[in-house]
Structure 1
Amino acid sequence: MATATPLGLPERSKPRARGRLQLILILLVVLGPMVLATCMYKLKFWVPEGRSYHGAMIGNGQSRADIGIAGEDQRWQLLVSAPAACAEDCQRLVYLVRQIQVGLGRDASRASHALAAAQPLASDYQALLTREYPQLQRYSLDAQRYLQQVGEAGPQLWIVDPHGNLVLRYDAKVNGKHVLDDLRHLLKLSNIG
């Protein structure tokens, strides 16, 4: 028979109350961080201001085809886009992407480099590319669609994932070391390509 406590409650309720308290604490420990993270994302508070990449992040799911570039590759890609003639800045970027791929060392086979041009290349530059850049892939570029989506008339350098999604974008004055660092970081984190 249960004995009564001074408050008139049976003795069994104290362990039951302690068990409920433990259950609530376990739920708070498990669900609390998820609720906090969701609130941080939705309400945009305590979001870190710093970033670990140098280019402009493309986070809207755009692909090469969305900006008017025909072609695909099953590896990570350093892509130079030239909506106008491939002049000095464009040629510098083409040289830079090859050097970045070489700079990847043992991971060089996981990446490729490409040029997407809206206009035909000059014959002397075309011959130079054929002779000195044999692995450079060449794609056509729909300049009107590109300018409509990107809004930049100058050449750009893009990092494209193996699924064809645009990841990062750089302007023509980019430092090659920054692109190499970003690509190495992506390759380290990626299981694809």
Structure 2
Amino acid sequence: MGAAMNPPSMSEAKPAVNRRKGRVQLLLILLGVIGPMILATGMYKLQFWVPEGRSYHGELIGNGQTRADLGVQAEEERWQLLVTAPKDCAVDCQQLVYLARQIQIGLGREAGRASHAIAAAQPLSSDYEAKLTREYPQLQRYPLDLAAFTRTTGDQAVPQLWIIDPHGNLVLRYDPSVKGKDLLNDLRHLLKLSNIG
């Protein structure tokens, strides 16, 4: 008769249990570190569980587009309120130019962190140009490359107002129906969060 098999002693079983326990702890730590990154990537790529609420009033531009993609060649190291006029600068466009200046003034002590500008695809009328020179001495003027603008925005015939960060990135876009208070609140919020410009 062969020797009876001895059950493992307590001292032999303990390392196996400890090893299993250690693996479970390592797995939990890895899930705690990598899990949120996987979840966040999935939420971004697949657009699920994205909150409906938002604290801004314009259209958020989060795709890395820049002022140059709009067809505007400019160097500005401050936040900028840029009005684009793909057609002539009529009533809506002129209202946005006025609003951009008022918003900059409304920033008060922070006004030096922002500028206002217009980029027009067509020359401005001589009357309006004279008014801008007289009443808007700090307004910057740029030509608008209509082909680049159309490529970036689609067929946008209406004037728009853009908030652009000091690196030239497009941040928010507004149409002519924007309320000045909403725009001012958005820009103040951006300046509060930003340590650039």
Q: Structure 2 vs 1, CA of residues 43 and 149 (structure 1 numbering), >3 Å: closer, same or farther?
A: closer
* Aligned equivalent of 2:103, options 86, 89, 100: 100
> Aligned-pair distance for 1:9?
4.1
Alignment partners' CA distance in 1, 2:41 and 2:73:
38
Alignment partners' CA distance in 2, 1:104 and 1:20:
57
**1:56 maps onto 2:76 in alignment:** no
Which residue of structure 2 aligns with residue 30 of structure 1? 33
Alignment partners' CA distance in 1, 2:47 and 2:95:
39
* Aligned equivalent of 1:119, options 105, 118, 122: 122
Paired residue type of 1:59: G
* Aligned equivalent of 1:81, options 66, 79, 84: 84
**1:155 maps onto 2:165 in alignment:** no
Q: Structure 2 vs 1, CA of residues 146 and 39 (structure 1 numbering), >3 Å: closer, same or farther?
A: closer
Which residue of structure 2 aligns with residue 188 of structure 1? 192
Q: Structure 2 vs 1, CA of residues 146 and 25 (structure 1 numbering), >3 Å: closer, same or farther?
A: closer
TM-score (norm 1): 0.87
Contact 1:63 1:164 in 2 (8 A): yes
**Which 5+ residue runs of structure 1 have no aligned equivalent?**
none
Instruction: Note the alpha carbon deviations across 1:7-65, whole angstroms, 9 max, x for none.
Output: x8444444444333333332232222223223323333222122222111222222222
Alignment partners' CA distance in 1, 2:66 and 2:80:
12
Alignment partners' CA distance in 2, 1:125 and 1:118:
15
**Which 5+ residue runs of structure 2 have no aligned equivalent?**
1-7
Alignment partners' CA distance in 1, 2:99 and 2:131:
15
Alignment partners' CA distance in 2, 1:124 and 1:39:
54
* Aligned equivalent of 1:42, options 40, 45, 70: 45
Identity %: 68
Paired residue type of 1:160: I
> Aligned-pair distance for 1:143?
2.7
> Aligned-pair distance for 1:78?
0.1
Contact 1:54 1:182 in 2 (8 A): yes
**1:177 maps onto 2:181 in alignment:** yes
Instruction: Report the secondary structure of 1:69's partner residue.
Output: coil
> Aligned-pair distance for 1:118?
1.9
TM-score (norm 2): 0.85
1:64-75 correspondence to structure 2 within 5 Å:
64-75=67-78
Paired residue type of 2:186: D
Paired residue type of 2:158: G
Q: Structure 2 vs 1, CA of residues 103 and 31 (structure 1 numbering), >3 Å: closer, same or farther?
A: same
Instruction: Report the secondary structure of 1:115's partner residue.
Output: strand
Q: Structure 2 vs 1, CA of residues 36 and 83 (structure 1 numbering), >3 Å: closer, same or farther?
A: closer
Q: Structure 2 vs 1, CA of residues 179 and 34 (structure 1 numbering), >3 Å: closer, same or farther?
A: same
> Aligned-pair distance for 1:146?
2.3
Instruction: Note the alpha carbon deviations across 1:124-147, whole angstroms, 9 max, x for none.
Output: 222221121111111111234323
Higher mean C-alpha displacement, 90-99 vs 40-49: 40-49
